[in-house]
Structure 1
Amino acid sequence: MHTTTTRQIQEWLDGRAREMTALLERLVAVESENPPGRALGRCARILREAMDDLGLSPEIIEIPGAPPDLEEPCIVRGTAGDGDRLLYFHGHFDVVPAQSDRQFTAVRRDGKIIGRGTADMKGGIVGMLYGAAAAKELGLLREGRIVVHLVCDEETGSVVGAGHLRDAGMIDPAAVAMVTGEPSGGSIWNAARGAISLRVEVHGREAHVGQADRGVNAFQHMLHIARPLERYAAEMAGRHTAFPMDPDDAPGTMLVVGGRSGGGSNFNVVPGSAYFTVDGRYNPEEDLDGEVERLTALIDEAAREIGADVSVRVTQLQPSASTEARHPAAATLARVVGEVDGAQPRFEMCAGILETRWYAQLGIPAFGYGPGRLDVSHGPDEYVEEAAMRRAAAVYARYAGEMLS
């Protein structure tokens, strides 16, 4: 595919720049925070309408048996082209909770769109939708089709959305590749960490403060149980990955002990219960099942030392994912990104987890590449550059043309 085609794609997208910005502003205005999982159905309906306008044959797929705290959990699925060769575009429309309600009003400033979810990853969604539409309208999908999957629960583990896609057999292992528009900042994420999350419950016995000696203080027990986990986190941070990473990202496995915690019924009552969470992002070199056993053993040993009653629940166990940078699908993506951006991209491992894992587990080459930046995602001043969103859309269209011809 030649430079002339790249120019045609860019001209097509430039002519729709206002449409792209307007769609992103509409999506930002939907408060699809997760947790708790609000306004998911409303966001999905806006996406379906936009995809219908772009000729992407959308449908909303309801998810049976989803947790009741998710509001209208669903998947939005669309298609461009009708050939045999298959390329997946994948994204999520839930966002992390905002620091302020003002973040749900998009602000345009200095070529940027500022607001919750612009980088992670509603800006990437807009880029993928317009990239797919450009590929279709400009006749690039000669022998294939793009299937777009947009899910509702990536921020809380993606078991409901992407998990349903896999369990229902809706991901075809014969696909040539998958791309998700996560905020990779110009790099290509060909690998991502795995995840372990635990909820540790400590059980005591309540008593009035005047008779505190009759109680069992679950909070004090919790503090004792957490200490070896803090030492474990420090040890894991020193075990570095061999995968290339952003130089500003720590190369060790990262854990947060006590990201959420709580307990007790009142200030003047011995707390009869307490809990805390453990959340880790594990490098691909680590054995996740072995680390779950090790974490559980540390908790049980600390509980035995003081006679504490404790229970542990694994709330997330997701494997890492990687595709060789030498894979032909990776090489093609790097070449396309280089031609569109004017600079050769770097292959890196994402510091977090990616939904590439659901596809990589089936043998599909899977990559993260999107217009936002990870270092502003989830923050109070989250933004995406309008020009970067259009460049990413051009990459998606070009990549589809290359992989499906």
Structure 2
Amino acid sequence: MTNTPAQSRAQAQWYSPTPLAPPGPVPDDRTRRRVRAWLGERTDEMAELLIRLVAVESENPPGRELGRCAATLRDALAGLGIEARLLPVTAAPAGPEDPAVVRATVGDGDRLLYFHGHFDVVPAQDRGQFSAVRAGGRITGRGTADMKGGVVGMVYGAVAARELGLIDDGRIVLHLVCDEETGSVAGAGELVARGLIDPGALAVLTAEPSGGAIWHAARGALTLRVDVRGTEAHVGQAERGVNAFLRMLDLVRPVERYAAELAGRPTGFATGPDDPPGSQLVIGGLAGSGANFNVVPGTAYFTIDGRFNPEEDPVVEERRLRALIEEAARETGTEVTVVRTQLQPSAATDPGHPAAGVLARTVAAVEGVPARFELCPGILETRWYARHSVPAFGYGPGRLDVSHGPREYVEEAALHRTAEVYALYAGELLG
């Protein structure tokens, strides 16, 4: 039986409305015109910063040039009159280059709003993707949509709010982290470890590629690695071996049936028009076997990676998967090991929360159409704030369908709308 969003609260980290100062009109036309004009004068400046960020090849994995990208952002913030700190990651895994978190504050009032983003990007399909191209109202290159473009929008939204006097009763804290693409333990996790997420914050926004929708909920995640052992033998004596590859296929089949069942459990949350309503599973995203073409493979492995709707509990689903694999292994006499490599909870903020209402009205005013609350089809770093009861939302200029692809791009008009929303939202919550 599929739960409704209200019934899913036991699984998701869900937050009901809490007291917040009553919002005024959102936003007034004069303020909107001022923000739009301020941003319009900086069109080339914003594009140039994004092009500079794209040129830093902060691919993750393996975590290349993370320190260099953090320093580039720190220097850009300094040029905009914002002092930023680079926080070295205290428990960084081996491999990433100088991982660091960028933390900066705009304003000095008591009321607090977080802008959160990441500057690592998925590996490029071609090295030319790190030379951004600006043409036809678009900037094309690796990370423009996910989410260096969003970072630029957040930064200029924060500066606009400060320069135009919109945040006289509060402050914006910018958190820019280095490893969202590989689990975020060394980035957002560092913020938690240092005690830098304040449960009293009014909200957090992240400019992930939501395509103009408001992501108020996100899926949970589970990743497993399954290792299978057989017995090696030369091809001339193949009958003496135990083929770990074939035994692996025996284990995959029940998981494949489970994946189909999972996809058939629709969520009660609103989804994007092109997003599947069921939870999703990728089997064999990584897989391999054997030592050589002429040897019976003595080892084999495959991965299982799932994104679970808030109605599903990843811990429960992990138990189901392990039971399926172990049963199939017993039936075939296969030696198998299952290791969990990722477990992340889902998270959702009630669209009835006052902070959600202010955001919806702000987005509607800027976009010119009613705001849409949707479930993000993947996971979001908003979950780190949700753990601290901070209302959390994703809204950004990129499009998910081009993110991670060979022609990744962001529309400059969408980039400006994002910066406008962030500036106006800060003004409404902190002004």
Q: TM-score range by the shorter chain?
A: over 0.9
Give the corresponding residue for 1:247: 273
Task: Pick which of 98-107 and 228-237 moved more.
Answer: 98-107
Match of 2:62 in 1: 36
SS at match of 1:91: strand
Which sits farther off after the overlay, 340-349 or 186-195?
340-349
Give the corresponding residue for 1:350: 376
Q: Residue in 2 aligned with 1:291?
A: 317
Q: Deviations over 1:43-68 (max 9, x none)?
A: 11111101111122201111122111
Q: Shift in Å at residue 213 of structure 1?
A: 2.3
- What pairs up with 1:55-66 in 2 under 5 angstroms? 55-66=81-92
The residue that corresponds to 1:108 in the other structure is 134
One-letter amino acid of the structure 2 residue matched with residue 62 of structure 1: P
1:83-134 deviations in whole A, cap 9, x for unaligned? 1111000001111111111111111121000111100000000000011111
CA deviation after TM superposition for structure 1 residue 168, in Å: 2.1
Q: Does 1:324 align with 2:347?
A: no
CA distance in 2, matches of 1:254, 1:214: 39
Superposition pairs for residues 21-170 of structure 1, below 5 Å? 21-170=47-196
Q: 1:281 corresponds to which residue?
A: 307
Offset at residue 206 of structure 1 (A): 1.8
Judge conservation of contact 1:55–1:80 (CA < 8 Å) in 2. Answer: no
**In 2, Cα distance between the equivalents of 1:129 and 1:12?**
14
Secondary structure class of the residue paired with 2:233: coil
CA distance in 2: counterparts of 1:218 and 1:77, whole angstroms:
48
CA distance in 1 between counterparts of 2:150 and 2:84 reads 18
Taking the aligned partners of 2:288 and 2:57, their CA distance within structure 1 comes to: 26
Indicate the larger mover: 296-305 or 209-218.
Answer: 209-218
Deviation at 1:355, TM superposition (A): 0.7
| Secondary structure of 2:204's aligned partner | strand
Residue of 378, 388, 394 corresponding to 1:368: 394
Shift of 1:394: 0.8
Partner Cα separation in structure 2 for residue 59 and residue 155 of structure 1: 22
Match of 1:362, SS state, is coil
Give the distance between the partners of 1:334 and 1:54, measured in 2 at CA: 28
**CA-based RMSD:** 1.0
Per the alignment, residue 292 of structure 2 pairs with: 266
SS at match of 2:81: coil
2:35 maps to what in 1?
9
Query: How far apart, in 2, do the equivalents of 1:56 and 1:194 lie?
Result: 35
TM superposition shift of 1:205: 2.2
Residue deviations 1:233-255, cap 9 Å, x none?
00000000000011211100000
Task: Show CA shifts across 1:263-294 (max 9, x none).
Answer: 21111111121111000100000121111111
Aligned residues: 405
- 224-233 vs 66-75, greater mean Cα deviation: 66-75
Aligned position for 1:176: 202
* Distance in 2 of aligned mates of 1:220 and 1:213: 13
1:398 to 384, 407, 424: 424
Indicate the SS of the match to 2:296: coil
CA distance in structure 2 between the partners assigned to 1:174 and 1:90 by the alignment: 16
Contact 1:245 1:348 in 2 (8 A): yes
Structure 2 gaps of 5+ residues are: 1-26
Q: CA deviation at 1:138?
A: 1.2
Separation (CA, whole Å) in 1 of partners of 2:216 and 2:66: 29
1:214 Cα offset (Å): 2.4
Q: In structure 2, the residue corresponding to 1:230 is in which secondary structure?
A: helix
Partner of 1:208: 234
**2:137 corresponds to which letter in structure 1?**
G
Indicate the SS of the match to 2:312. coil
Unaligned runs of 5+ in 1: none
Name segments (4+ residues, structure 1) moved above 4 Å.
none
Equivalent-residue separation in structure 1 for 2:311 and 2:198 (angstroms): 27
Distance 1:393 1:233 in 2: 39
Local SS of the residue matching 1:160:
coil
SS class of match (2:396): coil
334, 339, 348: which one aligns with 2:360: 334
Q: What residue in structure 1 maps to residue 7 of structure 2?
A: none
- AA aligned to 1:205 is T
Report the secondary structure of 1:141's partner residue: coil
Most deviating of 297-306 and 1-10? 1-10
Q: 1:385, 1:242 → 2: CA distance?
A: 31
Q: Distance in 1 between matches of 2:68 and 2:289?
A: 35
In 1: Cα distance, 2:295 partner to 2:50 partner: 50
